[in-house]
Amino acid sequence: MEIVPVTASGDKVQNRPLAEIGGKALWTKELDAWLIDGEIDFAVHSLKDVETIRPGEITIAAILPREDVRDVLVGAASIADLPPGAVIGTSAPRRAAQLLNARPDCRVVSFRGNVATRLAKLAAGEADATLLAAAGLKRLGQSAVGVALDAEHWLPAPAQGAIAIECRTHDAQTAALLAAIDHQPSRDAVMAERALLAALGGNCHSPIAVLTRAEGSELVMRAALFSPDGSVRVDGEARFAAGDVTAPASLAADLLFRAAPEISEHFTGA
């Protein structure tokens, strides 16, 4: 087996927010082209960064056991402990809106780059604190960095902590090999979250937070939508059988029905 490294466009352009330069496609377009052209047999992605609607030629063949879904706050012991008027570095609309909803006195500045780059910016004083994914820190051996936020109160991003492996839709041999490492409970949860995303019609400017947990044979999904400035929030919850993608769509419809215009204007599912 040969591993083919690639530097995604999302890593090449670091001085502008992703939403301004192509969104999540910047993390997948090179690998998508290689996969479709047969230059590689499968591609590995952080599923949080993969567009909801994928090319028909590509399928998600395996989802690995989901890692810690929580966000980590670096620079303070908790959101409440941030000093008045604190500057928070993040380029994620969901993190920015959620932070401003909880602490409207704070200010958000754009932080792009890998974990090391963002921690260096924090150390240089460009912000008082930043937010990172616990899963990413663990994979880098930096679990001791920062304080993990309770996911029940600080909802994570859809599919956060999940690694997906894609192959060509009609490559039955590769799909069969990858099926051996597919983790069904993780697939059930993250595909439900992606069904919610699809029904909402959100984009890179749309702050969406969701937590899905298993209770027996059912899933319990809690979701929140925000206005980009965090001033308005709407919450909802649904319980449904694993594998049911219609229930997340119904939850999306309910959220949009109850959402203020400051929220709904950022979604096309309305």
Active site residues: 49
Q: 90 CB contacts (<8 Å, ≥6 apart)?
A: 96, 99, 108, 110, 111, 130, 131
Cβ distance 269 to 253 under 8 Å? Answer: yes
In 3D, which of 221, 233, 226, 75 has the Cα closest to residue 159?
221
Please answer whether residues 70 and 154 qualify as being in contact, where contact means their C-beta atoms are separated by less than 8 angstroms: yes
List the structure tokens of 12.
Answer: 């090449």
Taking the C-alpha atoms of residue 165 and residue 8, their distance in angstroms, rounded to an integer, is 16
SS3 at position 24: helix
Amino acid identity at 63: I
Token reading at 191 = 């595909």
Three state DSSP letters for 191-256: HHHHHHHHHHCCCCCCCEEEEEEEECCEEEEEEEEECCCCCCEEEEEEEEECCCCHHHHHHHHHHH
- Strands 71-74, 147-148: pairing is antiparallel
Give the three-state DSSP class for 71.
strand
Q: What is the spatial distance between Cα 138 and Cα 150, in angstroms, rounded to a whole number?
A: 17
Beta bridge partners of 17: none
